[in-house]
């Protein structure tokens, strides 16, 4: 049995990478290649492929919207293509849906095809997994982004959860986000980041510094009347007099 396969990705190099890797896989026939969601919907309906490699992030109609147009009950097995890092992949793992991280690793692709091959010869229980994933993502999209911040590095995207972030520092046209012992440089303003983190217990302590209240260990008064903020990891930050009263009030409200 040949696996009639459709490749959907808005990046030409990504489509080419998948096609080259599939050339080494037995019994796979590429029946089409699409660069956007609308053409993918048409191709799935017209070609009725056995397997679809589907990009998650596409302008306009993304991968999940494609599934919405087709319907989870009518979709062939899907292997998602994504640049997202660990945090954003939990939904795939929880719902037992296969995915490949970009750039595509040929060995991992072959493993995914073998898993898809077993699904083709078994029951449709995987459709329930796909429905659960779509439902979970629909719920997540109905909720505001909850302050998540995207960090792009080396062609990949890491999604920072507010719970990971300790403090943020302005750096010209950028901000440096300190999270879980690592620093991430993001092109954004401190004002925008502050607005996104407003409901997650962050407070401005300086015109260029934003800190999570839960990370503060102590406040230290200096001989000249200035104060310092000491975080649980030992980081020492300057507390501006203009923000001191607001910080004290915010800390008191947490008690």
pLDDT in tens, 18-58: 999 999 998 999 999 999 999 999 999 999 999 999 998 88
Is residue 137 very low, low, confident or very high in pLDDT (cuts 50, 70, 90)? low
Asked if omega into 82 is within 30° of 0 (cis), the reply is no
248 and 153 housed in the same domain: yes
- pTM higher than 0.95, yes or no? no
pLDDT at 119 (0 to 100): 78
Residue 233: CB atoms within 10 Å: 11
Which ranges of 197-254 does DSSP label H, i.e. alpha helix? Answer: 241-254
pLDDT tens digits along 147-156:
567 666 655 6
Average pLDDT, the chain: 83
Q: Which of 59-63, 94-98, 142-146 has the highest mean pLDDT?
A: 59-63
pLDDT at 144 (0 to 100): 45
DSSP class of residue 225? S
Domain with 247, as residue range(s), is 149-254
pLDDT above 50 for 143: no
97 and 19 housed in the same domain: yes
pLDDT at 200 (0 to 100): 85
115 and 91 housed in the same domain: yes
**How many domains is the chain partitioned into structurally?**
2
* d(C-alpha 215, C-alpha 165), whole Å: 9
pLDDT at 118 (0 to 100): 82
Q: How many CA atoms are closer than 13 Å to the CA of 216, on its beta-carbon side?
A: 23
pLDDT at 102 (0 to 100): 81
pLDDT tens digits along 90-105:
556 544 578 888 888 8
- Mean pLDDT, rounded, for 141-146: 47
pLDDT at 142 (0 to 100): 44
Contacts of the segment 220-225: beta carbons below 8 A, 24+ positions apart: none
73 and 160 housed in the same domain: no
27 and 126 housed in the same domain: yes
Residue 149: CB atoms within 10 Å: 23
126 and 213 housed in the same domain: no
pLDDT tens digits along 119-128:
786 656 677 7
Q: Which residues have a Cβ under 8 Å from the Cβ of 103 and sit 6 or more positions away?
A: 14, 17, 155
The domain boundary, picked from 107, 122, 142, lies at 142
32 and 128 housed in the same domain: yes
pLDDT above 90 for 7: yes
CB neighbour class for 86 (10 Å; exposed up to 12, middle 13-18, buried from 19): exposed
pLDDT at 147 (0 to 100): 57
pLDDT tens digits along 69-90:
898 888 888 898 987 544 345 5
């Amino acid at each position: 049995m040949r696996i009639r396969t459709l490749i959907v990705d808005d990046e030409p190099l990504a489509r080419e990478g998948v096609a080259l890797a599939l050339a080494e896989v037995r019994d796979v026939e590429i029946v089409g290649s699409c660069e956007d969601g609308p053409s993918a919907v048409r191709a799935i309906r017209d070609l009725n492929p056995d397997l679809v490699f589907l990009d998650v992030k596409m302008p306009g109609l993304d991968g999940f919207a494609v599934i919405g147009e087709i319907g989870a009950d009518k979709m062939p097995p899907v292997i998602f293509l994504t640049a997202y890092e660990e945090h954003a992949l939990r939904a795939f793992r929880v719902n037992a849906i296969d995915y490949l991280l970009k750039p595509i690793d040929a060995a991992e692709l072959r493993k995914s095809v073998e898993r898809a091959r077993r699904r083709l010869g078994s029951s449709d229980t995987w459709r329930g997994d796909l429905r659960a994933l779509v439902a979970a993502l629909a719920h997540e999209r109905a909720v505001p982004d909850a302050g998540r911040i995207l960090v792009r590095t080396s062609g990949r995207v890491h999604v920072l959860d507010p719970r990971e972030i300790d403090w943020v520092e302005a750096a010209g046209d950028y901000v440096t986000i300190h999270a879980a012992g690592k620093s991430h440089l993001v092109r954004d303003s401190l004002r925008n980041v502050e607005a996104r983190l407003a409901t997650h217990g962050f407070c401005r302590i300086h015109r260029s510094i934003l800190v999570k209240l839960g990370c503060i260990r102590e406040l230290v008064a200096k001989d000249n009347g200035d104060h310092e903020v000491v975080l649980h990891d030992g980081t020492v930050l300057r507390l501006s007099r203009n923000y001191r009263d607001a910080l004290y009030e915010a800390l008191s409200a947490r008690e």
